[in-house]
Amino acid sequence: MGTFEAFYFSQTQHPVLLWLAALFALGFCLTRRGLDPSMRRYCGALSVLSLADAWLTSHPIFGIGTLSGPAASMLPLFFVLAGDFRYLLLAAGANAAGRVVFSRQRVFWALGFTAIVPISTQVMLFLLPTEYDTARVMFLIYEISFVVLTLALLRFHENVRSVPWIKGVSRFVLVYYSLWATADAIILTTGADIGFALRVVPNLLYYGGLIAVMGRAAPIAEASR
């Protein structure tokens, strides 16, 4: 195991570094003047989600140990889907004024779109030869698929393509998913240790950066400018 790979799988990176990223994002959103209360609450909830994700998907889990049985696979899957859902729900429920207004229809839309990438990933894995049915290949297919989905939203979804700050958040999602895909492509094709070093960057952007970008990009009230 290389130096960067060892760091990547260490608890220094996951959960400690990821906790710090989430706490930074939380502090930024709580202290930004003029941020709409609905957006502040949303960023706060997402920060708690990131903190829980970094804790409960670490190996072993602080205070719990190593999970076994269905929980060992279902809990990480839940957090992956929740991580995608938080962006898709913002895409559906935020508006040009920097508010997030959720309805049953928007929640169902976000849930439906959250299911697209994992389902398509499993279909593609089924079609590939069995020797490609590995976790790293699955990660790469998932990451590329989410890049494609985000590009489609930027092109076709009215709220995403017409509201500048939501478009900016969507482009940030493209950045960290593209970095993940690049890192996994390096690991799969060359086995180079640098792939794990690169993978740390999108981890930080995902656990903390996205939340801070949401809080930074959302318009503030005129009275606070």
Q: What is the pLDDT of residues 153-205, one digit of tens each?
A: 999 999 999 999 999 999 999 999 999 999 999 999 999 999 999 999 999 99
pLDDT of 98 reads: 96
pLDDT of 222 reads: 56
Size of the chain, expressed as the number of residues it contains: 225
pLDDT of 105 reads: 97
Q: Is residue 47 classed exposed, middle or buried when 0-12, 13-18 and 19+ CB atoms within 10 A define those classes?
A: buried
pLDDT of 94 reads: 97
3-224: CATH topology: Rhopdopsin 7-helix transmembrane proteins (1.20.1070)
pLDDT of 63 reads: 86
CA distance 84 to 170: 11
pLDDT of 223 reads: 46
pTM: 0.95
pLDDT of 68 reads: 87
Instruction: Give exposure, 30-43, as e/b (b: 16+ Cβ within 10 Å).
Output: eebeebbebbbebb
Q: Report which DSSP code applies to 15.
A: I
Regions of the chain where pLDDT drops below 70: 221-225
